[in-house]
Amino acid sequence: MLLLGLNGGLISASGPSSEASQGYLHDASACLLQEGQTLAAVEEERLNRLKKTDLFPVRAIQECLDIAGKTLSSIDAVCYYFEESFLDVALNKNYLANRDQKIKYARARIVEHLKSSFDFDLPDDKLFFVPHHVAHASSSFVRSGFRDALVVVIDGAGEDHSGTIFNASAAGLKPLATHSARNSLGAFYLHGTQMLGYTFGDEYKVMGLAPYGDKGRYGEIFESLFTLKPNGDYTLENTRDLNIGLTGYNFIAPAFLNAGFFPRRRNEPFTQLHADFAAGLQATLEKIILHVLKYWSQELSNPNLCFSGGVAHNSTLNGAILASNMFPKVFVHPASHDAGSAEGAALAVESKLSKGSLPHLRITTASLGPDIGSPAAISSRLDSWTDVIEFHRADDIVEESAGLLAEGAVIGWVQGRSEFGPRALGNRSILADARPGENKAKINDMVKKRESYRPFAPAVTSNAAKKYFDLPTPVADYRYMSFVVPVAEAYQSTLRATTHIDHTARVQIVYNDGYNELFHRLITRFGQLTGVPVLLNTSFNNNFEPIVQTIDDAVSCFLTTSLDVLVAGEYVVKRRYADESNLALLCPSLRKTTKLATETRIAGLDELSRRYFLQSEGRGSTGSEISEEIYNILQCADGRTPLNDILDRFQSVGDRSELIQETRTLWDRRLLDFRPAARGI
């Protein structure tokens, strides 16, 4: 049986701009499942380059089919990750608010997308809708490999619930309890995130800020926002009759406004008060969830735990769950957020159609996405960039890369199939020596272009993990960077680049088991050269884009950051230019989600003022005001003409080097694309 699992919005990139985005349909993805095995899984953002995209996953579907060598005509079922009735009610709200929209409900929209994008007519009896939390629970339980478990799903909301507790066994998922959307802990943490000047998708940043703060400063205020109740229940206060969804009323804000704590503004420096707020927010989340888990661990007599939903990516919380010793084994799926529910929807439908029990197929790798390509394909693509890079094929890529890392280089590392989920686990990574503390500052500031407080994860070989980290007693799968644990006291001063302010780290343990062999060899060889088999590992992207997928993505990120070296497959890549002038040999183009715009205002009597913008339409994206010169230049940016040639058309316009630098800044922010000029035959 071959099943296609889908997650994401019901609008397409080519849809009319009047179509309102549905904020809860985010992290679009596709998954191809056959007889319980995941053949391929990929998030749409890796392909359309829009972080947390809410578009229908057209590219992800095609990639899954290509990886598996299948076509849509061979699919037995298409499985979507929300209930049909819920989606139709939500669409109806859009239609009531937007009278010009053509009415078309969820089933018809999915069928239409598959027809328009793939010329495939999906039979009505092959389309299935799965309750959101059932999708989350199915992927978590099946991929844990446990025979039975307590499955806890906590997120912003799934249909009417923000939390669901299941008793899972071979017979299926038995719901035990639910928590309403008004008691959403996902929304609670999001609202705290918004108070710190961030937005949806930035919750992990708050988790990193929390250890710098004093959770007691605002403890009384946070305590006033919830009530713990018997039987693992709780209520959030001040949420009655309020819409507290992803875009609704922020119920945390009034209590803190009364205490003199105001929402942080974009680009406002972080203060100790902000850190104290983050600490209180994190502590409150942990207190409520541990209360829920304690009851159910006792009720089910010390079961194994599968934890899923967006909140399960809070790795500090996961570390606290391990430290509580409430469960003998704990599993967190590497794609516990909504992207992973595409797999869960397919697993749930497979179980239904086969009239069998849920399988127990433990996940052993998250590398389920598209491959970087053969050596010949990599070389061919790199060769097209040789106006701005130079590269060579290493005799031994592990030996050369380990030597570079031991000498202090920060490298981009691109190998094999991309990972499914938000973590880079050794195939789309930025790597560095985990020992020098200055590597943290360098990568945050010059490479990732993000806040200085943000921590980095250590990747360690399995035989050295217990030496460098204090792993709790419960059994957990540390392959996927899902748990924050204490760094062993003897090595806190050694691993300065990856030891957080509270002496913890979000550890990744790398095994020599055939699934991440090259990465294991690299860490092992680095350990032989330095005496410490631990590398700093963070995702290969800057702050404005998703993790890189292709060679072009990797080269673009390499050229717009301060990475020392790019390693792609067996090739070592370095920059060819010492300044920005060679950038003008590349061809600029607007992205599909950016457009030029002007604004004219009356500046005085008989005087008009005009401003120029490059606007972005992606989720959470912001545009940029640009100069008139750049506005005129970008009108000629067709992706085929080198920037030098465009500048030659405007010889009297501005300083050439300044114009090149301005376009470089727009590329840094991923508001523009640059690609090599086509080579003559």
Query: pLDDT digits over 77-127, tens only?
Result: 999 999 999 999 989 988 898 888 889 999 999 999 999 999 999 999 999
Whether pLDDT at 256 is above 70: yes
Q: Under 8 Å CB-to-CB from 662, ≥6 apart: which residues?
A: 626, 627, 630
Kindly tell me if the per-residue pLDDT of 620 is higher than 90. Answer: no
Q: Are 183 and 472 in contact (CB under 8 A)?
A: no
Please give the Cα distance from 179 to 154 (Å, whole number).
Answer: 9
- Amino acid 445: pLDDT: 86
User: What is 290-357 written as a DSSP string?
Assistant: HHHHHHHHHHTTS--EEEESGGGG-HHHHHHHHHTT--SEEEE-TT-SGGGHHHHHHHHHHHHHHT-P
* CB atoms inside a 10 Å sphere around CB 88: 14
Is 77 exposed, middle or buried (CB count within 10 Å of its CB: 0-12, 13-18, 19+)? buried
Residues 317/177, Cβ–Cβ less than 8 Å: no
Where does the pLDDT of residue 242 fall: very low under 50, low under 70, confident under 90, or very high at 90 and above? very low
d(CA 184, CA 180): 7
Q: How far apart are CA 114 and CA 109, in angstroms?
A: 9
Report the C-alpha dihedral over residues 479, 483, 484, 490, rounded to 10 degrees. -40
Nearest to 31 by CA among 54, 59, 64: 64
CA nearest neighbour of 336 among 128, 482, 174: 482
Q: How far apart are the first and last CA of the chain?
A: 46
Counting residues of the chain whose pLDDT is more than 70, the rounded percentage is 95
- Cα(230)–Cα(177) distance, integer angstroms: 13
Which pLDDT score, from 0 to 100, does residue 170 have?
Answer: 87
pLDDT of amino acid 521: 98
CA–CA separation, 526 and 509 (whole Å): 15
SS (H, E, C) 166-235: EEEECCEEEEEEEEEHHHCHHHHHHHHHHHCCCCCCCHHHHHHHHHHCCCCCCHHHHHCCEEEECCCEEE
Give the model confidence (pLDDT) of 266-278 as tens digits.
Answer: 889 999 999 999 9
Asked if residue 408 has pLDDT above 90, the reply is yes
Can you tell me the mean pLDDT for 312-325? 98
pLDDT tops 50 at residue 651: yes
Q: 534 - beta bridge partners?
A: 460
Of the candidates 269, 294, 160, the residue with the CA atom closest to the CA atom of residue 209? 269
Q: How confident is the model at residue 446 (pLDDT cuts 50, 70, 90)?
A: confident
User: Which residue from 467, 465, 468, 489 is spatially nearest to 478, judged by alpha carbons?
Assistant: 465
**What pLDDT score was predicted for residue 97?**
87
| Per-residue model confidence as pLDDT tens digits over 194-241 | 999 999 999 999 999 999 999 999 999 999 999 999 999 999 987 754
> Contact, 72 vs 65, CB < 8 A?
yes
Q: Over pLDDT 90: what percentage of the chain?
A: 82
Phi, psi of 582 (to 5 degrees): -70, -20
The mean pLDDT value of the chain amounts to: 93
What per-residue confidence (pLDDT) applies to 403? 98
For 62-82, how does the pLDDT look when each residue is reduced to its tens digit (9 = 90+)?
999 999 999 999 999 999 999
Give the range among 155-169, 298-312, 648-662 with minimum mean pLDDT: 648-662
Burial class (CB within 10 angstroms; exposed 0-12, middle 13-18, buried 19+) of 291? middle
What are the pLDDT digits (tens) for 481-509?
999 999 999 999 999 999 999 999 999 99
Kindly list the strands in the beta sheet with 127-129, ordered across the sheet, starting from the edge strand earlier in the chain.
37-43, 29-34, 2-7, 77-80, 127-129
pLDDT at 587: 96
Sign of CA dihedral 206, 208, 212, 216: positive
Q: What is the DSSP letter of 212?
A: G
Let me know: does 60 contact 343? Beta carbons within 8 Å. Answer: no
Contact 479/446 with Cβ under 8 angstroms? Answer: no
The bridge status of strand 226-229 relative to strand 457-461 is: unpaired
Instruction: Of 37-46, 372-381, 593-602, give the lowest mean pLDDT range.
Output: 593-602
More confident site: 118 or 361 = 118
Q: Provide CB contacts within 8 A for 572, sequence distance 6+.
A: 391, 392, 393, 394, 397, 400, 401, 404, 565, 566
pLDDT of residue 241: 42
Interatomic CA distance for residues 379 and 550, integer angstroms: 13
pLDDT of residue 271: 97
How many CB atoms sit inside 10 A of residue 681's CB? 3
- Which of 86, 30, 38 lies closest to 361, judged by CA? 38
Token pair, residue 453, equals 């407080």
pLDDT over 50 (residue 244): no
Q: For residue 443, what is the DSSP state?
A: I
Tokens of 530: 């330095």
Crossing angle between the packed helical segments 272-299 and 185-195, to the nearest 10 degrees: 170
- Which domains, and CATH codes, for the chain? 2-80+83-129 (3.30.420.40), 134-341 (3.30.420.40), 368-575 (3.90.870.20), 581-675 (3.90.930)
User: Backbone phi, then psi, for 27, in 5-degree steps?
Assistant: 55, 50
Lowest-confidence pick of 7-16, 22-31, 424-433, 647-656: 7-16
Looking only at the bridges linking them, the beta strands covering 417-419 and 672-675 are unpaired
Residue 324, CA distances (Å) to 279, 291, 294 in order:
19, 11, 9
CB 162 within 8 A of CB 154: yes
Which distant-in-sequence residues (6+ apart) come within 8 Å of 374 by Cβ? none
